Amino acid sequence: MELSRLQRRAENEWWIAPYGKMRVPAVIFATEALIRDMDEKVYEQATNVAMLPGIVKASYVMPDAHWGYGFPIGGVAAFDADQGGVISAGGVGFDISCGVRTLLTGLTFDQIQAKKERLADALFGKIPAGVGSRGKLSLNEKEMNAMLAGGAKWAVERGYGMREDLERVEEGGCIPGAHPHEVSDRAKKRQREEMGTLGSGNHYLEVQHVAKIVDRDIAAAFGVSQGNIVLSIHCGSRGLGHQVGTEFLTRMAAAASQYGIDLPDRELA
């Protein structure tokens, strides 16, 4: 990103003052080096977000920002319903309940060294991954709704996780108030096919070795020490999240003009 287009307000705080249809400034938190490496699209997307009705104070951009859909990835904004604030389906995004989780194994690097190949084969054999893979779970309509409403709690109740896992998940693994009946049959059908599979693309399960501890206190809080073997898993959302996000986004994009909402980018609908 071009530094000359930004005002430096503090060591790591950069502003784009409102111009054109922007209602508030865009504020980027990043070091100079990160700003230089940032995609110009982040500038464009952060200013687009600043144009949305009812935005509070600023369109914020975190240090990890990169080119996203409508919002930059790492973009943050609040909207005040009493000030004409909007709900942006694109801002909520397609990645519903997607995330990375690290599991401690209690094993050390030395213990698995001689068994690495067998371990990899066993993981490939047991975990359905890749395009078109099939899982062992097939949920009927009632169970699908229970899963959508119960989240990780549902999984633990059925023996797919441990109670202690929930203590380490945001909101205990379940945000109350979900309306599974608002999720379309098409979205549920996609989930039915993918249930219990890891996915493909950037979804992964990695066996990782803790090679170096940088901050002892943080490592201790997470129960990690040097030489540990941990499993990191990136999964979630996939077909279900995309189907839900896309269905609402296309409906809202088509309806925006009826409500007098001028969208700088349809992806912000």
Partner 1 sequence: MPECRWELLPHGADIGVRGVGRTKAEAFEQAAMALTAVITEPASVSANECVEITCQATDDELLLVNWLNAVIYEMATRRMLFARYEVGIDGNGLFAKAWGEPIDENKHELGVEVKGATCTELKVAPDQDGGWIAQCVVDV
Torsion of CA 202, 208, 210, 215, to 10 degrees: 20
Which range in 9-17, 173-181, 212-220, 250-258 contacts partner 1 by CB under 8 A? 250-258
Residue 43 binding partner 1, by CB under 8 A: no
Residue 149 and residue 171 in contact, taking contact as beta carbons nearer than 8 Å: no
Q: Which is nearer to partner 1, 232 or 250 (CB)?
A: 250
End-to-end CA distance of the chain: 26
**Size of site (CB under 8 A) for partner 1:** 35
Q: Is the dihedral of CA 73, 75, 79, 84 positive or negative?
A: negative
Q: Which is nearer to partner 1, 90 or 173 (CB)?
A: 90
| Side-chain half-sphere exposure of 262, counting CA atoms within 13 A | 6
Residue 91 binding partner 1, by CB under 8 A: no
Q: Which is nearer to partner 1, 39 or 143 (CB)?
A: 39
Residue 213 and residue 219 in contact, taking contact as beta carbons nearer than 8 Å: yes
Q: Which is nearer to partner 1, 23 or 41 (CB)?
A: 41
Query: Least distance in Å: CB of 181 to partner 1?
Result: 20
Amino acid, res. 243: Q
Contacts of the segment 8-13: beta carbons below 8 A, 24+ positions apart: 12/63
Residue 140 binding partner 1, by CB under 8 A: no
Binding residue for partner 1 (CB under 8 A) from 70, 75, 150, 264? 70
Binding residue for partner 1 (CB under 8 A) from 103, 122, 175, 254? 254
Query: Least distance in Å: CB of 79 to partner 1?
Result: 20
With helix as H, strand as E and coil as C, how does 192-227 read?
HHHCCCCCCCCCEEEEEECCCCCCHHHHHHCCCCCC
Q: How far apart are CA 267 and CA 265, in angstroms?
A: 5
Q: Which is nearer to partner 1, 159 or 260 (CB)?
A: 260
**DSSP string spanning 28-58?**
EE--HHHHHHS-HHHHHHHHHHTTSTTB-S-
Residue 266 binding partner 1, by CB under 8 A: yes
Residue 39 binding partner 1, by CB under 8 A: yes
Residue 265 binding partner 1, by CB under 8 A: yes
Residue 59 binding partner 1, by CB under 8 A: no
Residue 184 binding partner 1, by CB under 8 A: no
- Number of neighbouring beta carbons within 10 Å of residue 226: 13
Residue 46 binding partner 1, by CB under 8 A: no
Q: Which is nearer to partner 1, 224 or 256 (CB)?
A: 256
Which range in 50-58, 148-156, 217-225, 260-268 contacts partner 1 by CB under 8 A? 260-268
Q: How far apart are CA 138 and CA 224, in angstroms?
A: 35
Amino acid, res. 226: Q
Site residues, partner 1 (CB under 8 A): 39, 66-67, 69-70, 90, 94, 130-132, 186, 189-190, 193-194, 199-202, 237-239, 241-243, 245-246, 249-250, 253-254, 265-267, 269
